[in-house]
Amino acid sequence: MDDNSKLPDQDFTLAEQSEDTTSIEQPNERRRFLQGASLATITALLGVSAIPFHKNMAEGLVPIALADDIEGNAALDKDGLTIHNDRPVNAEPAAHLLDDRITPQSRHFIRNNGNPPTSMDVDTWSLTVDGLVDNRMTLSIKDLKSKFEVVTKQLVIECGGNGRAFFTPPASGNQWGYGAVACSEWTGVRLVDVLKEAGIKDNVIYTAHEGADTHLSGKAGKLAISRGVPIKKAMDPNILIAFEQNGKPIHPMNGAPLRLVVPGWPGSCSQKWLTRIYLRDIVHDGPKMTGTAYRIPNRPVAPGEKVDTKDFVIIEAMPIKSLITYPATGQTVNDKKLSIRGHAWAGDRKVKEVHVSHDFGATWQKAKLEEPANDGAWQHWSAELSFPLSGYYEVWARATDSEGITQPFAISWNPKGYLNNTFHRISLVVA
């Protein structure tokens, strides 16, 4: 496998992209080989006697059992996460490690753009709220707890680059598979309550967020990332300034002792180690708000096409997506009947339906779908499958949102590999 090969520099590279410290680990040649391989070769590589639904396999479809090269390594005290990078730390769990209804701290992915702060002291931490407000405020965590209503919600955080590993040609950045998503239970105060207390001036259009992490260059005063949301979005009562994760202090790598949680929008909006929120009368232009960072072309582009930055728009709500969290991909099962399950989520919308297929998408069966625990939480689904014969199968999941938008089989390419919400495919061998 050539999964350590480096991509040649791409000419859409822009200023903030050169700050990327990330590497490429894309198995391109192997993919091309597999796309051209015969049924006999594929069957032999899979080590099975048959692929019962092989007639449904589209030309060039790479069996997911051979396409996945995501392995589990231990990351910190996180549980079996794959490490993409150790400076800064970026790590994700395999899909089956996300089987819990509420994601444990130990399995919440880590996406760091800079160096985490060295001190995360809950007693001395302070949050400044300023910019275009009537009353500038500096609040301790104790102040937040005593001045505002404290609420607990299950909220999805998903990196805008989740699924980047599956783009061809590869997009630069962390090669996230399926696991840069989580739904922990967050306790904190509503952002809207804090902003209202500060008094929002009439000309405000955007928020701006700052955290205590430092830029990788070590330059004093240089921020690693500072993003914001339109003021209309900031009024969403599901956005929390959180100080607890799953009833415990927030994990140090997930933003202890204070972070924003903006469910349904790219994870980058959810500033960790939060120290400041200021209100602006322009679209915020902090690091990773401009250029190609967390932005996509305003039109479909050809794979590898060079796109002018003026044609990029900021990513807002994340698209409909689902995961199969049980069983793990690659399992051999002895039963011809199997219960499978997972989660689905839909940005600012709700999930209306989930369907599953065990015959490469020729037929689909409706899964049982639960209501979310609260707005901003993912929804759990389950289904019973029966397999007619022994051999290699793929199970695919596909969710549809409340506006009728369904996950696609393939997604149009974009330069930074954002918003990949194609079906989750797992492989199973029925003995």
Ligand X SMILES: Nc1nc2c(c(=O)[nH]1)N[C@H]1C(S)=C(S)[C@@H](COP(=O)(O)O)O[C@H]1N2
Q: To the nearest whole angstrom, how small is the minimum distance from the Cβ of residue 266 to Mo ion?
A: 6
Q: How far is the CB of 88 from ligand X (least distance, A)?
A: 7
- Who's near 401: CB < 8 A, 6+ residues apart? 320, 346, 347, 349, 350, 351, 352
Q: How many CA within 13 A on the CB side of residue 363? A: 8
C-alpha distances out from residue 369 to 117, 372, 378, 421, Å: 40, 9, 11, 19
Q: For residue 252, which of 194, 219, 210, 212 has the smallest C-alpha distance?
A: 212
Among 98, 141, 157, 356, binds ligand X (CB under 6 A): 157
Shortest distance (Å) from residue 357 CB to ligand X: 30
The H or E element containing residue 150 is: strand 150-158
Going residue by residue from 221 to 260, which x/- string records binding to ligand X, judged by CB under 6 A? ---xx----------------------------xx-----
Q: Does residue number 211 form part of the binding site for ligand X (CB under 6 A)?
A: yes
Q: How far apart are CB 161 and ligand X at their closest, in Å? A: 8
What is the closest distance, in whole angstroms, from the C-beta atom of residue 162 to Mo ion in the complex?
8
Per CB under 6 A, 394 contacts ligand X: no
Give the Cα-Cα-Cα angle 22, 25, 31 (nearest 5 degrees). Answer: 150
User: Within 10 Å of residue 214's Cβ, how many Cβ atoms?
Assistant: 18
List the beta strands (DSSP E) in 159-291.
181-190, 206-211, 240-245, 248-249, 259-261, 274-280
* 208 near ligand X, rule: CB under 6 A: no
Quick one: which of 378, 387, 333 has its CA closest to 356?
387
Contact by Cβ (8 Å): 327, 426:
yes
Beta-carbon contacts of 419 under 8 Å, excluding residues fewer than 6 positions away, are: 160, 163, 296, 315, 318, 319, 411
- Residue nearest to Mo ion as judged by C-beta position: 159
Per-residue contact string for residues 263-302; x = within reach of ligand X by CB under 6 A? ----xx-xxxx-----------------------------
Question: What one-character DSSP code corresponds to residue 228?
Answer: -
Which lies closer to Mo ion via its Cβ, residue 267 or residue 415? 267
User: How far out from the chain centre does Cα 106 lie?
Assistant: 16
Range 104-133, binding ligand X (CB under 6 A) = 108-114
Q: Which of Mo ion, ligand X, none does 211 bind, CB closer than 5 to 8 A by kind?
A: ligand X
Per rule CB under 5 A, is residue 111 in the interface with Mo ion? yes
Nearer residue to ligand X within complex by CB, 62 or 194: 194
379 binds, among ligand X, Mo ion, none (CB under 5 to 8 A by kind): none
Residue 315 contact among Mo ion, ligand X, none, beta carbon within 5 to 8 Å by kind = none
Binding stretches for ligand X (CB under 6 A): 108-114, 157, 159, 211, 213, 224-225, 254-255, 267-268, 270-273
Binding stretches for Mo ion (CB under 5 A): 111, 159, 267-268
